[in-house]
Amino acid sequence: MRPRLSRTACLLRLAALYILLSRSAAYFGLTGREPLPAEPSSSSSSERAHLKQCEQLALSRRQKRVCRREPGLAGALRESVRLGLLECRYQFRHERWNCSLDGRASLLQRGFKETAFLLAVSSAALSHALARACSSGRMERCTCDDSPELQHREAWQWGICGDNLKYSTRFLKRFLGQKRAGKDLRARVDAHNTNVGIR
């Protein structure tokens, strides 16, 4: 009997599978049936373009609702795909496996160290992309990191905006819908690897 996969693990596996099976400019598995455009539209139809991007992403129904409510989220998801792929390829550049899944798609369904790495690096990329989207003003519901320790730094005096990692961590835990995995060891391990990347 196959272990039941957590929602987080499924999302990240879909992300990794798509990006690694498609061309190098593809997105780290978050795209659905139709490829995403290179850049979102900047015209008055940007609202429709945003909604279309949310529909194209391989997300759960609940995640698509969140994506539609937050205009900058689709762009952050796309950026996380790019970052995750770059980091994965960089880390494995001298190894036999360099993040390609050509003929090895079963890798994502088994408990290998590469699977653990993919879960961690893709969730880290997602956390980083969301924090950057907040600090750059691309997401409406969050802003710069306003931690008290940032206010005393010299960089803060020059107007540099800190990445809001607190918001991205909280948001991702809700967005990925992490729940207790119970007795399913594989789901608990996948949740652990995802949390490693988020932190």
**pTM for the structure as a whole:** 0.68
pLDDT in tens, 50-68: 788 888 888 889 999 999 9
Write out the E strands in 99-181.
none
Q: Which pLDDT score is estimated for 181?
A: 58
Q: Which pLDDT score is estimated for 85?
A: 86
Quickly tell me which residue has 């593809």 as its tokens.
Answer: 26
User: Could you say which DSSP state residue 145 is in?
Assistant: B
**Distance of alpha carbon 24 from alpha carbon 31, whole angstroms:** 14
- For the ranges 38-47, 131-140, 142-151, 188-197, the lowest mean pLDDT is seen at 38-47
Domain boundaries, the chain: 7-32+45-198
**Distance of alpha carbon 196 from alpha carbon 53, whole angstroms:** 28
